[in-house]
Amino acid sequence: MWGVGVNGEVLAGRYRLLSLLGRGGAGEVWRGEDTVLARPVAIKLLRALDGDPMDAVQRFRIEAQAAARLQHPHVVATYDVGAADDQVFLVMELVTGTDLAQLMRAKGLPATKLVADIAVQGARALDAAHGAGIIHRDVKPANLLLAADGTLKITDFGLAHTGGLNGATGQVLLGTAAYISPEQITGGQATPASDWYSLGCVLYELLEGVPPYVADSVEGVLRQHLEAPIPPVRRTDDVPGLAELVQRMLSKDPAQRPSSSAAVLAQLNGPTPAQPVSNATQVLPLAATPVVPLHEELLGQPVDDEPEKQTASHAAPRRRPPFVKALAGAGVVVAGVVAAILLREGVSQEPPAVAGGTPTVAPTVVTKTTAKPRPTHTPTPAPTPKPKETPTPKKTPKKTPPKQVESRTANQLRTLAQLLRQGQQRDGSKAVREAAKDLDEAAKALGEGKEGQASDRYRSALRRLGTAQRTDQWRPTPQQFVLIAALSRDLGRPSYGDGDGDNEDRDSDE
């Protein structure tokens, strides 16, 4: 089965799967062994996607070739790629260490000097990538690995896109809302400045314990990226220039952000760059074996990170605002604007913990109204000798009734379907047309009280839109994004029962 490995399985007569490291929407990551070179490796197994799997593989080859040729001390190396039987796999460097998300969970916030060092090493990695025409587009704590010797390595360049530097249009952007740049949210292309913004978000979180912007909804976080003032950095201790560096990285204006590791070093007033070879990007000849990056599926089920690394962190999770957990657990897929969010209750994709020891942001919670009912606006009884009726206090307003929620959600489904059809002259994608049909079916099912079927049809629509995104045939408008974000809160969860919404609804009708 595509994307699912078996312990001890040998791929292409060479790569043995030893232990599962993680599972994500794109497939699985295994600790493995290269039996020819007798060295440990990380092996990613590609999960089957909608449409022809071979078409998907070909797209991935094209997108990841440049990234696989990038050789740099601060970039996780790609060794090989291939297809065997029913598996498509990517062989990468195995980093013994931990990612920054797990580091914060296990040990709390790192020392400011380590944060500054991470800033410099991360900047050198971005220098190398941008110099080779590659934009990462998904810089976040889970993709920054800290090796046992203190070396920082950026992974998952398979999500990168090489078109951003040469004017290509319609690129697909993948990322997480907590770290996404303003220009990506508003429909612009990812540029090197977008990666610098995301790195700034990571550095802020390392210093303050939470990302720079948190809210009780994905839309709220995105609006803050666009409109909110840059939050202050309070914990800089003995590293002059660190607070100002992070503030510059978080600038809404891409032109105001630093654009090189030299600028980062200058801002930190640190030493001149040592080991100039570490910034030298070696681009290797194209390998005979095609390269297949592992994209996160548009609606990948929230699961553990996809680490190419070994970790031994079992510390109790540190608290963070509830939405930060939900946000970290929701793979937010972005195409120009952010395209789709899948929020699932009770499951976390990324380490659900980083609200460090600095209580700078109180947990965002929905407080229940426990006070006595407020006096309702009742006309004062006329001064008559005998009392009329004893006014009974009205009940405290409750949540929106389910029927009203269903009506609102059904209207949103129909509106989104209509917007997709209106964009056909621009997009012209069969997948988008089919997605619109799915949305209409979801609205119909919701009107009939078949919530499980409605959820399944909605998720089917998002999978089709994901296919259109990956082939550059659909770029959502801000209005479409807002609808998708709202609908995903109501319908993005899996249907209950044995997994088939139609069966579930048929059973309920009997």
Angstrom distance (rounded) from CA 150 to CA 100:
12
Structural tokens at position 249: 């990285």
Angstrom distance (rounded) from CA 115 to CA 366:
33
Phi, psi values for residue 273, rounded to 5°: -55, 125
Catalytic site positions: 138
Q: What angle do CA 492, 495, 499 make, to 5 degrees?
A: 130
Q: 275 vs 123, 171, 267, 272, 279, CA distance in Å?
A: 14, 35, 19, 10, 8
To the nearest 10 degrees (0 to 180), the angle between helices 478-491 and 451-470 is 140
Angstrom distance (rounded) from CA 350 to CA 331:
9
Buried b / exposed e along 184-211 (16+ C-beta atoms within 10 A)? bbebebbbbbbbbbbbbbbbbbbbbbbb
Amino acid letter for position 21: L
Q: What angle do CA 414, 423, 167 make, to 5 degrees?
A: 140
Q: 251 vs 194, 246, 247, CA distance in Å?
A: 10, 9, 6
Q: Which helix (H) or strand (E) holds 196?
A: helix 192-208
Residue the block writes with tokens 């660190």 = 242
Phi, psi values for residue 113, rounded to 5°: -65, -35
Structural tokens at position 326: 């939900």
* CB neighbourhood size of 459 (10 A): 23
Q: Which helix (H) or strand (E) holds 192?
A: helix 192-208
